[in-house]
Amino acid sequence: VRRCIDGYVFIWEQRSYTISASIGGVMIDRPDILVKDLLTQADTACYMAKELGRNRVHFYSERDDDTVRRHGEMEWANRLRWAVDEQRLVLMYQEIWPLPLGTGGAPGIEVLLRFRDEAGQLVVPGVFMPAAERYGLMPVVDRWVVETTLAHFNHLHPSGAGVSMVAINLSGASIDDELLAGLILGWLRQYKVEPSKVCFEITETVAVRNLSHVVRFMEPLRAAGCRIALDDFGAGMSSFTYLKNFPLDVIKIDGSFVRDMLTDPVSHLMVRAVTDIGHRLGLEVVAEWVADLETVEALMLLGVNHAQGFSLHHPELAVFQRD
């Protein structure tokens, strides 16, 4: 079938065209398999045929890791499409503490996303986010996270309105969403949230991918009083030069450097360099993945402004979702 299609040529408006086909197949070799499972496997195989270069036949195999991964992502994509309607998305938070500890300053929080499965267990984003990104679902997910956070702003943390700052992550796909900045500004007004208490985080890899586009997206939010943080700094193609022209308020040092700073001199040097450059640019510096009090003390000596990690606070359900 593929060869016949591949060899077909037709003419339209004095131009000739050829056709190719990506075909997915599955062997019906077990008596107990359901028809819906066969169709899902054939669909998975068809996606694999496209991803392997198109114009080919690919048969489903459970031993094929790529096929199994694709199958899992497709399953998650289908579940995520209904996650908002079925109220399966859940917000948690992790506290971000000012340094030095014990100075009396109120903590900020970072909002974290979880998926509640059919058994009631909370699934971490690393399991379902790849599917959301591959199948174009991140703008829908991000819109839900932002609006839900702002709608329950005073009921996220036990301190209520006393929380100093709430950080919300935005994906690269949402940065490309031309309507999102306007929606956020509308939600801030609708839910009467003080913009200066809201911080939007984007990763370094998203920022460097299209710097001018990110700047245009962030400018109206920053003009309204929101803060902007560059997350995972150091994880990608780090360049201190673009920081001069980027509208930032906060740098979050990638946790892999913080985790190893007591045992690896290069990691320690990286943390110190980011802190020094950040302060010279008038930015606050946050260290992620802080795992013990020895690391907290080392960060304090370097002048890091805030710390976040399991040694300080384990993520908890947002207050409004606890019942």
Task: Note the pLDDT tens digit of each residue in 295-311.
Answer: 999 999 999 999 999 98
Given pLDDT bands bounded at 50, 70 and 90, which one contains residue 236? low
| Torsion (CA) 147, 149, 153, 158 in degrees, nearest 10 | 160
Rounded mean pLDDT of 283-287?
95
3-state secondary structure of 169: strand
Here the tokens at position 30 are 């077990």
pLDDT in tens, 51-99: 778 899 999 887 765 666 777 777 888 888 888 888 899 999 999 999 9
* Cβ-proximal residues to 238 (8 Å cutoff; 6+ apart), any chain: 204
**Which pLDDT belongs to residue 238?**
56
The answer to whether 90 touches 114, Cβ cutoff 8 Å, is yes
Other beta carbons less than 10 A from residue 134's beta carbon: 15
Indicate the range of 6-20, 68-82, 233-247, 280-294 predicted with least confidence.
233-247
Residue for token pair 């929606």 = 183
**Cα 220 from Cα 181, distance rounded (Å):** 7
pLDDT category of residue 239 using cuts at 50, 70 and 90: low
Determine contact, residues 313/94, Cβ cutoff 8 Å: yes
HSE, side-chain direction, 13 A CA sphere, residue 53: 3
Which residue is it, tokens 């890899």? Answer: 205
CB 311 within 8 A of CB 290: yes
Query: Distance between CA atoms of 258 and 323, rounded to whole angstroms?
Result: 35
pLDDT of residue 289: 92
Give residue-wise pLDDT tens across range 138-161.
999 999 999 999 999 999 999 998
- The predicted pLDDT at position 192 comes to 96
Cβ partners under 8 Å of residue 274, min gap 6? 233, 234, 251, 253, 257, 285
Q: Which of 96-110, 131-145, 224-238, 286-300 has the lowest mean pLDDT?
A: 224-238
Q: Which of 112, 56, 24 has its CA nearest to residue 318?
A: 112
Q: What is the pLDDT of residues 12-56, one digit of tens each?
A: 888 888 888 999 999 998 888 889 889 888 888 888 888 778 899
Q: Is the bond into 100 cis (omega within 30 degrees of 0)?
A: yes
Which residues, 6 or more positions from 18, have their beta carbon under 8 angstroms from its beta carbon? Answer: 6, 8, 9
Residues counted in the chain: 323
Q: How far apart are CA 24 and CA 57, in angstroms?
A: 6
Q: How many Cβ atoms are within 10 Å of 68's Cβ, its own excluded?
A: 14
Neighbours of 179 (CB within 10 A): 9
Between CA 205 and CA 116 the distance in angstroms is: 28
Calculated CA dihedral for residues 278, 280, 282, 284, nearest 10 degrees: 30
CA atoms within 13 A on the CB side of 114: 17
